[in-house]
Structure 1
Amino acid sequence: MDKLIFTSLSGQKHIDQRVQQISNEIANVSTTGFKKEFAAATETYRYDGDGFKSRYVPVVTPSNRVDLTDGAMQSTGRPLDIAVSGNQLLAVLTDNDEIAYTRRGDLVLGADGLLRVGSGERLASDANTPISIPALTEIKIGPDGTVLGKQIGGDAVIFQPIARIQVAEADPGKVSLRADGLYESSDRQPFAAAATPAVQSGALEGSNVSLFSAMVDMISMSRRYEMQVKVLKQASDLAERSQSLARVTQ
């Protein structure tokens, strides 16, 4: 009997974790550059314990691997909106000056003169430093990630290079989601710089979550949960009948 209960509870745990993933995807369906996670993985482990023989049971482990499938490109015409695609990622500096990665390209110029992504992190240059923009400077970003600028109202008519955005070429099998929503390599090593950065200016990448697919998955998980509840109810009924039969035969 406990085998049936164990299997059902393991199934419920998997469903609960998957529902959390789907809920997060739905909440971020409109978030710039958002990437969904791959579904949780199931592994089999051996359990030993008093009162029952050793057995192998399925154990669900959450996956923090990121699906880099491109989202829809949205033209904005704004010079500080950029997008990359494929396996390329934008490098940012965290609060403790570590390099992490993102696909958010909705850049803003902070009060401190630093370029930041929409979630607040500082955009990183190819020298692993923040990108500082001089005051009263008109800027644009080239297809190779070079940040160009010229003084507003000045005599200069040619944009001069200020810095170059660090664009990484990620190994899609190693891109992991951090607790802060940024990405890193699963081996905690920096990704290599992209040999040919492809930065699209005046555009943003949308989320790669399909709301329709996410809702279908949520309905499927709801039905699976109902099935597991029925299994537990049947296990309880069988236990009661077994106890009744034991009392009758005494």
Structure 2
Amino acid sequence: MDRMIHTALNSMRNLSELQKINAQNLTNMSVPGFRKDLWGQAGTGYLQAGQEPTARAFALGTGKSEFSYQLGTMDPTGVDTDIAIVDDGWLLVQPPDGSPPALSRRGDLSVNAEGILVNGSNETVLSDALAPMVIPPYREIQITQIGEILINPLAAEAGQFVSAGFIGTTTAAGVDLRKNEDGRIRALDGTIPPPDQIAHMQQGMLESSNVSAVEELVYTIELQRRFEMSVKFIESAKQIDQAAAQIMRIAQE
């Protein structure tokens, strides 16, 4: 009976991890450019007493979290500092906590009080030279499809634009990307691919997250039903064990 209970408890533990991923996706459903978390890779572990084989197996999480590459919908905002990458590609950003640079598709950009270009998570947007994008005071701003930022400085005449640099982008071609412990996207070794400036972007638009509310809510119900089945499985194992003990007591009388 202990094998039945072990199997059910291990299933419940795995369901708990899946529920965390499901909750994470629902929480970030409204975050621009968010990539849906997926169940990561897993191996199989076995409980053993010495060298004796056993049927007690359990799942082992391996590697870092995987995510969906599916594109979100492109929604026009009319905000000059909003951008959306319309094809495969990533922005290069520096997290505010000092952790290593990461990749992002979040395009709700703004210029902070220090004149540095940041996104909605207060991550610093990096240039094609992997330096912070510093934007001088401007009257008007334009962001081209290749990521060049053109501004009409306050000191210049209207209609006169100068370049403030290029937003760093990469397609990460051939690189296996994962979400790290901080939820940010990097290569498996924790680094980011070098800029290649191939991605195309559109000004005045934002890419929504690729999380489907309907799919996640249906999945929530499915996970709850699986959890209830595991609880019933444990209860059945308990009843079988009690019945076997009762039979043994009767046989000894």
Q: TM-score, normalised by structure 2?
A: 0.90
Match of 1:134 among 136, 144, 167: 136
CA distance, structure 1, for counterparts of residue 99 and residue 80 of structure 2: 26
Alignment check: 8 A CA contact 2:101 2:191 kept:
no
Alignment check: 8 A CA contact 1:40 1:60 kept:
no
Alignment check: 8 A CA contact 1:42 1:58 kept:
no
Offset of 1:161 from its aligned partner?
Answer: 0.9
- 5+ residue gaps in structure 1? none
Bigger Cα displacement from structure 2, 40-49 vs 142-151:
40-49
SS at match of 1:69: coil
2:44 counterpart residue number: 44
1:199 counterpart residue number: 201
Count of matched residue pairs: 250
Bigger Cα displacement from structure 2, 144-153 vs 227-236:
144-153
Offset of 1:135 from its aligned partner?
Answer: 2.3
Offset of 1:182 from its aligned partner?
Answer: 2.1
Bigger Cα displacement from structure 2, 150-159 vs 203-212:
150-159
Measured at CA, do residues 99 and 40 of structure 1 come closer, stay the same or move farther in structure 2, by a change above 3 Å? closer
CA distance, structure 2, for counterparts of residue 66 and residue 244 of structure 1: 51
CA distance, structure 2, for counterparts of residue 46 and residue 64 of structure 1: 23
One-letter identity of the residue aligned with 2:223? M
Measured at CA, do residues 88 and 249 of structure 1 come closer, stay the same or move farther in structure 2, by a change above 3 Å? same
1:190 counterpart residue number: 192
One-letter identity of the residue aligned with 2:85? V
1:3 counterpart residue number: 3
One-letter identity of the residue aligned with 1:188? G
2:151 counterpart residue number: 149
2:89 counterpart residue number: 88
The 5 Å alignment of 1:1-250 reads: 1-49=1-49, 53-55=53-55, 57-61=57-61, 64-95=65-96, 96=98, 98-152=100-154, 154-155=156-157, 157-171=159-173, 174-250=176-252
SS at match of 1:158: coil
| Percent pairwise identity | 28
Measured at CA, do residues 173 and 5 of structure 1 come closer, stay the same or move farther in structure 2, by a change above 3 Å? farther
List per-residue Cα deviations over 1:105-132 (Å, max 9, x = no partner): 0001101110001100110001111011
CA distance, structure 1, for counterparts of residue 105 and residue 121 of structure 2: 11
CA distance, structure 2, for counterparts of residue 46 and residue 209 of structure 1: 35
One-letter identity of the residue aligned with 1:54? T
List per-residue Cα deviations over 1:182-214 (Å, max 9, x = no partner): 211112232142352201111000010111111
CA distance, structure 2, for counterparts of residue 57 and residue 17 of structure 1: 17
Measured at CA, do residues 136 and 86 of structure 1 come closer, stay the same or move farther in structure 2, by a change above 3 Å? closer
One-letter identity of the residue aligned with 1:246? M
CA distance, structure 2, for counterparts of residue 181 and residue 141 of structure 1: 28
List per-residue Cα deviations over 1:33-67 (Å, max 9, x = no partner): 111112244422232137x7433513052761121
CA distance, structure 2, for counterparts of residue 56 and residue 87 of structure 1: 43
CA distance, structure 1, for counterparts of residue 7 and residue 237 of structure 2: 11
